Structure 1
Amino acid sequence: MPDTQDRPRADVELRLPADGVYVSVVRTTTAGLAARLDFLIDDIEDLRIAVGEACAMVLPEAEEDSELTCSYYLSPGRLTVEVAVSAASPHEPAYDSFAWQVLSTMATRAESDSGAGRFAIRLTMESGVPGAGS
């Protein structure tokens, strides 16, 4: 993923304490935005699950008293969600883990970035609605 200066501005951004009690807010926001883009119910539920898994992966890496930042990039037929925390020495995710398999199966694309004092997971989901992206 590009540096902060190179990243496009998110259409929607949430900043929450880096605490697992706020994951439900992230999941609900994700579902609401996907519904606004006319995603199918099954795709919305897949995104909710994938975003929950992404949060579960980044939160243990968060520095104490830091924020969980959720950036949403919306386009017709596509929703990209990036969850990120400040992390002093983040670890690459285990790409053969069950959690990563859930992410890569439920999202159209899943990526991680564990450098520059930050740990992020970016998920992209494309709508299953015919003609939604055109």
Structure 2
Amino acid sequence: MTVAGATTEFPTGRPDVELRLPADGAYVSVLRTTAAGLAARLDFTIEDIEDLRIAVGEATALVLPEADPESDLQCGFHLGERSLTVEVRVQTSSPAVPDYESFAWQVLTTLAASAEEIATADSFSVRLTLVSGVDL
């Protein structure tokens, strides 16, 4: 999706907001609620906020199975003028292989303006950007 005046390039540097939670599905609602609150602060539409909540849930569903026991779910939020980039990461002792055919990935890439999975030797993350459809 391209929106005039907004970029879908992934930001670099320190996130504006960071959360660290136990890598357990019971905490996904905290992450989704935080994402929705930040999107509301950026004046996203109700539909955009719901898309973001779903996308964050799907991103979390992709990374949690890869988490080492007793590890944390880390999430960074980069706030843009008309966009919000979210990176969900877990520590893993076995490098994950991204599954681009999974249902979660298909939903995520349908909702997000851009998305990527990042697998390293000790972590697995999903980064996504949603752009507000509101014309300023």
| TM-score between the two structures when normalised by the length of structure 2 | 0.89
Q: Which structure carries more relative contact order (alpha carbon 8 Å, separation 6+)?
A: 2
Q: What letter is aligned with 1:49? A: I
Aligned to 2:46: 41
Contact 1:92 1:112 in 2 (8 A): no
2:83 to 57, 78, 81: 78
Provide structure 2 residue ranges, at least 5 long, that are not aligned to the other structure: 1-11
Q: For 2:134 and 2:57, how far apart are their aligned partners in 1?
A: 23
Is the contact between residue 117 and residue 125 of structure 2 (CA under 8 Å) also seen in structure 1?
A: yes
1:4 is matched with which residue?
none
Query: CA–CA distance in 2 between the matches of 1:97 and 1:22?
Result: 22
Decide whether aligned partners of structure 1 residues 90 and 116 sit closer, same or farther in structure 2, where only a CA change above 3 A counts.
closer
Q: How does 1:6-17 map to 2 (within 5 A)?
A: 7-17=12-22
Q: Deviations 1:48-73 (Å, cap 9, x if unpaired)?
A: 00100111110110011000001000
Shift, 1:89, TM fit: 1.2
The alpha carbon displacement at 1:86 in A equals: 0.2
Choose from 106, 113, 117 the match for 1:112. 117
Identity of counterpart residues, as a percentage? Answer: 63
Q: For the Cα contact (< 8 Å) 1:10–1:72, is it kept in 2? A: yes
- The number of equivalent residue pairs is 125
Query: What's 2:9 paired with?
Result: none
User: CA shift at 1:96, angstroms?
Assistant: 1.6
Q: CA RMSD in A?
A: 0.9
Q: Structure 1: any 5+ residue segments left out of the alignment?
A: 1-6
| Counterpart for residue 28 of structure 2 | 23
3-state SS, counterpart of residue 44 of structure 2: coil
The aligned counterpart of 1:128 is 133
Deviation at 1:85, TM superposition (A): 0.3
Under a length normalisation based on structure 1, what TM-score does the superposition of the two structures give?
0.90
**Cα shift at 1:97:** 1.6
Which residue of the partner structure matches residue 64 of structure 1?
Answer: 69
Given that 2:51 and 2:111 are in contact with CA atoms closer than 8 Å, whether structure 1 keeps it comes out as: yes
The structure 1 segments of at least 4 consecutive aligned residues displaced by more than 4 Å after TM superposition are: none
Q: Any conservation in 1 of the 2:52–2:130 contact (CA below 8 Å)?
A: yes
